């Protein structure tokens, strides 16, 4: 059973659109999968033949990672891998190949995978928890952040530890709960506002810009607004144009806002802790596709990561490549291709879009 969203734990097979013996190409729709939110189409990731159906249509409550069909790749067989859609690398395909003995899988048998120790999702949660333990004025609010543990499960376990007075579910009205958070910030509290997606923050632009961002200037520096707005931003998986916008440049053009978009799990934690302690509004942009990115090393720095300091991820001499957020992931994938052509690339992760580390960029460009 494929995970068709970051929070999906189980699903049902509404309809099989193929049968044993059918040949399919990568991208062909082979089944309709029902989740708790919608019915979605499942595409084949490979050119293959359907060898057998392991779970009948109409079945429900099938746990994610349960093998649902067996594919014939020619010389080998493999069960449909649930972890991603689209074409896989050869190494990923080989990791899913099973022997004829292994292929005798009963319906609803779960394939267990070892999860990374920490991911971006977990380091964001840990940053929130640590700051809430440190400062009792910090609280989290937003749609489904408490009982449901967040649309992307970022707030797992927080309701149990801090209770409903500090982990607050809100109505589906962004302009309303953003205004409440602004008032709380003016009164001395430190709200963390989660938007289910930053696309929905457009409903609250008046509060974010005219109230939160401008008050420090309008009060002559006498009134602060310690508030963090956080949630997924930019390109996502299987969503339409209204849920895929990158609002980073928009927010970065607004005086009074600090705008942060981390790539790594370590930076996500350190930058969010810095954001929560900042006396004025911070836009903390995450990315749905990066939530499962594992921590690059076995340890994580517990300290704060300062705003306005870019990080050079790779030194080079020919070209300077500057990006942030999920763009860094794409850049890291592109660099080996450039190196095959003899091009040495220096990669800079901005991390902070406002303030922007111009000096690091200019120094790199002068060198390359």
Active-site annotation, residues? 174, 243
| Alpha carbon of residue 190 to chain centroid | 24
Q: Which residues on neighbouring strands pair with residue 70, listed in sequence order?
A: 52, 79
**C-beta of residue 192 within 8 angstroms of C-beta of residue 237:** no
Q: What angle in degrees, to the nearest 10, is found between the helix axes of 265-277 and 120-134?
A: 30
- The structure tokens listed for 257 are 């806002």
E strand segments, 39-169: 39-43, 48-53, 62-63, 69-72, 77-79, 97-98, 138-142, 167-169
Tokens representing 156? 């797992």
For residue 265, which of 233, 304, 291, 231 has the smallest C-alpha distance?
291
Instruction: Tell me how far apart the alpha carbons of residues 118 and 139 are, in angstroms, rounded to a whole number.
Output: 23
By DSSP bridging, strand 190-194 and strand 138-142 are parallel
Rounded (10°) CA dihedral 44, 236, 298, 331: 90
The answer to whether the CB of 258 falls within 8 A of the CB of 355 is yes
Which tokens in the block code for residue 76? 């080998």
Task: For residues 229 and 194, give the distance between their C-alpha atoms in angstroms, rounded to a whole number.
Answer: 6
Determine the Cα–Cα distance for residues 14 and 33; give it in Å rounded to an integer: 6
Nearest to 237 by CA among 210, 285, 197: 197
Instruction: Please write down the HEC assignment for all residues of 88-111.
Output: CCHHHHHHCEECCCCCCCCCCCCC
Give CA–CA dist 303/224, Å, rounded.
24
């Amino acid at each position: 059973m494929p995970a068709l969203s970051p929070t999906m734990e189980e699903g049902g097979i509404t309809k099989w659109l193929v049968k044993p013996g059918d040949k399919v190409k990568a991208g062909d729709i082979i089944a309709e999968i029902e989740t708790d939110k919608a019915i979605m189409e499942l595409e084949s990731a490979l050119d293959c033949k359907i060898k057998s159906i392991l779970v009948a249509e109409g079945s429900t409550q099938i746990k994610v990672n349960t093998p649902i069909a067996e594919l014939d790749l020619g010389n080998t067989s493999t069960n449909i891998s649930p972890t991603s859609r689209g074409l896989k690398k050869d190494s990923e395909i080989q990791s899913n190949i099973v022997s004829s003995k292994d292929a005798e899988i009963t319906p609803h048998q779960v394939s267990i995978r070892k999860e990374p120790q920490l991911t971006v999702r977990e380091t964001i949660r840990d940053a929130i928890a640590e700051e809430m333990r440190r400062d009792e004025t910090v609280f989290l609010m937003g749609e489904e952040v408490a009982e449901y543990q967040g649309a992307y499960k970022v707030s797992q376990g927080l309701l149990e530890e801090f209770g409903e007075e500090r982990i607050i579910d809100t109505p589906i009205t962004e302009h309303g709960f953003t205004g409440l958070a602004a008032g709380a910030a003016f009164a001395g509290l430190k709200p963390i506002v989660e938007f289910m997606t930053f696309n929905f923050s457009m409903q609250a632009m008046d509060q974010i810009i005219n109230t939160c961002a401008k008050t420090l200037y309008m009060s002559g520096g006498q009134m602060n607004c310690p508030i963090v707005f956080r949630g997924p931003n930019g390109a996502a998986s299987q969503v339409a144009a209204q849920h895929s916008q990158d609002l980073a440049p928009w927010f970065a053009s607004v005086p009074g806002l600090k705008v942060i978009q981390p790539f790594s799990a370590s930076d996500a934690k350190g930058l969010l802790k810095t954001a929560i302690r900042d006396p004025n509004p911070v836009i903390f942009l995450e990315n749905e596709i990066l939530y499962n990115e594992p921590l690059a090393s076995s340890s994580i720095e517990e300290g704060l990561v300062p705003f306005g300091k870019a990080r050079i991820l790779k030194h080079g001499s020919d070209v300077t490549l500057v990006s942030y957020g999920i763009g860094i992931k794409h850049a890291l994938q592109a660099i080996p291709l450039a190196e095959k052509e003899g091009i040495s690339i220096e990669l800079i992760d901005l991390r902070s879009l406002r303030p922007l580390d111009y000096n690091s960029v200019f120094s790199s460009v002068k060198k390359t």
